[in-house]
């Protein structure tokens, strides 16, 4: 059973920063990869970044590389997404997700947290 709860969304100004958190309840953390996604109004869901819970290895989408940073705190069972230099185009609902390390599909999702960036 995997449970994911996001927090940290809200309103930010263009050029500002926000940090999202995903508190995870997973039986065997080392068997999972954690990811962050977003869905903007009228757009498809977009992959942003992922991190291996065991190795800490990360992958980023080109659209956020250099602005967003994914990290994990194993002691707190929490994954973070640090977002810098935000633009109105970053406005979306942000989701935390988990997939088994041997699977390509993320089949565990949080409820999402809204991020709104004003110009």
| Band of residue 29 on the pLDDT scale cut at 50, 70, 90 | confident
Do residues 83 and 19 touch, judged by C-beta distance below 8 A?
A: yes
* Count of beta carbons in the 10 Å neighbourhood of residue 21: 18
pLDDT tens, position by position, 61-70: 999 999 999 9
CA gap 81, 53 in Å, rounded: 14
Do residues 110 and 21 touch, judged by C-beta distance below 8 A?
A: no
| Band of residue 30 on the pLDDT scale cut at 50, 70, 90 | confident
pLDDT tens, position by position, 88-106: 999 999 999 999 999 999 9
């Amino acid at each position: 059973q995997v449970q994911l709860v996001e927090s940290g969304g809200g309103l930010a100004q263009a050029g500002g920063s926000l940090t999202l958190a995903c508190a995870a309840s997973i039986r065997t953390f080392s068997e999972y990869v954690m990811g962050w996604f977003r869905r903007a109004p009228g757009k498809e869901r977009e992959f942003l970044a992922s991190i291996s819970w065991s190795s800490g290895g990360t992958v980023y989408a080109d659209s956020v590389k250099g602005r967003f940073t994914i990290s994990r705190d194993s002691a707190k069972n929490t994954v973070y997404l640090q977002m810098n230099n935000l633009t109105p185009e970053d406005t979306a609902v942000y989701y935390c997700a988990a997939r088994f390390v041997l699977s390509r599909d993320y089949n565990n999702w949080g409820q999402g947290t809204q991020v709104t960036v004003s110009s």
